[in-house]
Amino acid sequence: MTAQWQANVSLKPFNTFGIDVKARHLVQAHDDADVLQALTAAAERGLDVLVLGGGSNLLLTQDVDGLVLHMASRGRRIVADDGEHVLVEAEAGEPWHPFVQWTLAQGLCGMENLSLIPGTVGAAPMQNIGAYGVEIKDVFAGLTALDRQTGAMREFNLQDCAFAYRASVFKANPGRWLILRVRFALKRTLDPHLGYGPVRQRLQEQGIEQPTAQAISEAICSIRREKLPDPEVLGNAGSFFKNPVVSSACADRIRAVYPDLVAYPQGEQGVKLAAGWLIERAGWKGYREGDAGVHRLQALVLVNYGQASGAQLHALAGKIQDDIRARFGVELEMEPNLC
């Protein structure tokens, strides 16, 4: 059945910032046929297309005068299983955290550190999402995408995706590739990634010396709930700025003035600075302009207290970027896509 077109639709329920802008048209795509039909019809009408998943990595600053294609496909399955190594596949519209929980319920390991990240499976490779020492690239096995330039389907392997820190070939070519489903290589034996101190500490506090994947997931969920606001309660898109990578000389210069600088050596690439530390040290934590603000507990998160517009949040982000540049000589880059 052809997917139904809706007109003049509020996008407030479709973005985690809760920005109330309107889409001229909206289509919910439940399968590949819906996607192809919607794209064909949009082309015939001369409409631009904005593809939305969970709307968790997006800042909407204006109405969308075109078609919003919402990826609502569902499905998750085990594709191959040799007893130890298991290949799983999920449709693009699957919500990310429930999918991670499903893999854990199957007795599979590898996704536990990526628990409670908002968004959908299809959006995850775009950003090469990561948390607590694990990124998508570490468990990625392949994906199927539609080339919107040619209309052809293409299979991507790990190398094809050109994953980097919060980056991929898909993000580098915005609008070209529409991800339809993603595959992950998981295992039944746990190889725990406990390099981040807070996770180890939380497990120790619980008296867990030999953690299971489920225990690691639960520890990470509890930490994230303490640090990050729930988008259902307070509009946000998670971390708003990337952790900047700077030269060792730059890090040393900042550390000479601020000995408590939070930084992580990246080998020849330089030093990764904690953007949240920079923003908090500059005094922005808890700052508020109307309904646009910086979260009181996590300086890396911009929040919508109710009626903030995307333009207001973008303006606030610009002020923070200008201040960090002037104060530390460091450029902060936004994580969310701007529309």
pLDDT per position as a tens digit, 250-297: 999 999 999 999 998 888 889 999 999 999 999 999 999 999 999 999
- Determine the pLDDT at residue 228: 85
Instruction: Name the catalytic one among 112, 166, 281, 309.
Output: 166
What is the residue-averaged pLDDT of the chain? 94
Give the confidence band of 222 by pLDDT, cuts at 50, 70, 90: very high
Asked whether residue 112 is domain-assigned, the answer is yes
The rounded distance, in Å, linking the Cα atoms of 310 and 189 is 44
Nearest Cα neighbor of 18 from 290, 292, 286 is 292
38 and 18 within one domain: yes
Sign of CA dihedral 33, 34, 39, 45: positive
Which residue is listed with tokens 């001369």? Answer: 46
317 and 273 within one domain: yes
Pair 104, 111: CB distance under 8 Å: yes
- Determine the pLDDT at residue 95: 95
- Determine the pLDDT at residue 3: 78
Instruction: Name the catalytic one among 115, 239, 281, 309.
Output: 239
The rounded distance, in Å, linking the Cα atoms of 165 and 42 is 33
181 and 85 within one domain: yes
- CATH number where 118 lies: 3.30.465.10
> Quick count: other Cβ atoms within 10 Å of Cβ 112?
28
Q: How many domains does the chain have?
A: 3
Beta carbons within 8 Å of 36's beta carbon, 6+ residues apart: 146, 151
User: Of 124, 158, 187, which residue sits at a domain end?
Assistant: 187
120 and 53 within one domain: no
- Determine the pLDDT at residue 230: 87
Asked whether residue 34 is domain-assigned, the answer is yes
174 and 115 within one domain: yes
User: Of 71, 94, 117, which residue sits at a domain end?
Assistant: 71
Nearest Cα neighbor of 236 from 50, 7, 57 is 57
181 labelled catalytic: no
For helices 213-227 and 197-205, the axis angle rounded to 10 degrees is 110
140 and 105 within one domain: yes
The rounded distance, in Å, linking the Cα atoms of 110 and 140 is 10
Asked whether residue 203 is domain-assigned, the answer is no
- Determine the pLDDT at residue 254: 96
Asked whether residue 155 is domain-assigned, the answer is yes
Nearest Cα neighbor of 334 from 272, 265, 243 is 243
Which residue is listed with tokens 């809760």? Answer: 18
Q: Is the pTM of this model over 0.75?
A: yes
Average pLDDT on 299-308 reads: 95
The rounded distance, in Å, linking the Cα atoms of 59 and 268 is 33
Asked whether residue 230 is domain-assigned, the answer is no
Which residue is listed with tokens 């409670």? Answer: 116
- CATH number where 265 lies: 3.90.78.10
Pair 33, 54: CB distance under 8 Å: no
325 labelled catalytic: no
Whether 1 shows a pLDDT value over 70: the answer reads no
DSSP, res 331? -
Asked whether residue 25 is domain-assigned, the answer is yes
Q: What is the DSSP string of 250-274?
A: HHHHHHHH-TT--EEE-GGG-EEE-
Provide the domain limits for residue 261.
235-338
Whether 2 shows a pLDDT value over 80: the answer reads no
109 and 63 within one domain: no
The rounded distance, in Å, linking the Cα atoms of 186 and 39 is 33
Give the confidence band of 37 by pLDDT, cuts at 50, 70, 90: very high
Nearest Cα neighbor of 100 from 139, 64, 132 is 139
The rounded distance, in Å, linking the Cα atoms of 13 and 4 is 18
User: Of 187, 205, 227, which residue sits at a domain end?
Assistant: 187
Higher pLDDT, 167 or 90: 90
- CATH number where 25 lies: 3.30.43.10
64 and 35 within one domain: yes
- Determine the pLDDT at residue 264: 87
205 labelled catalytic: no
The model's pLDDT over 183-194, given as tens digits with 9 standing for 90+, comes to: 999 999 999 998
Asked whether residue 181 is domain-assigned, the answer is yes
The rounded distance, in Å, linking the Cα atoms of 200 and 209 is 9
- Determine the pLDDT at residue 330: 97
Give the confidence band of 214 by pLDDT, cuts at 50, 70, 90: very high
144 and 96 within one domain: yes
Sign of CA dihedral 89, 131, 306, 64: negative
129's tokens? 């999402």
Whether 302 shows a pLDDT value over 70: the answer reads yes
147 and 96 within one domain: yes
Asked whether residue 208 is domain-assigned, the answer is no
Q: Is 255 exposed, middle or buried (0-12, 13-18, 19+ CB in 10 A)?
A: middle
182 and 133 within one domain: yes
The rounded distance, in Å, linking the Cα atoms of 210 and 323 is 44
The rounded distance, in Å, linking the Cα atoms of 61 and 283 is 26
Whether 85 shows a pLDDT value over 70: the answer reads yes
DSSP, res 334? B
158 and 123 within one domain: yes
Whether 161 shows a pLDDT value over 70: the answer reads yes
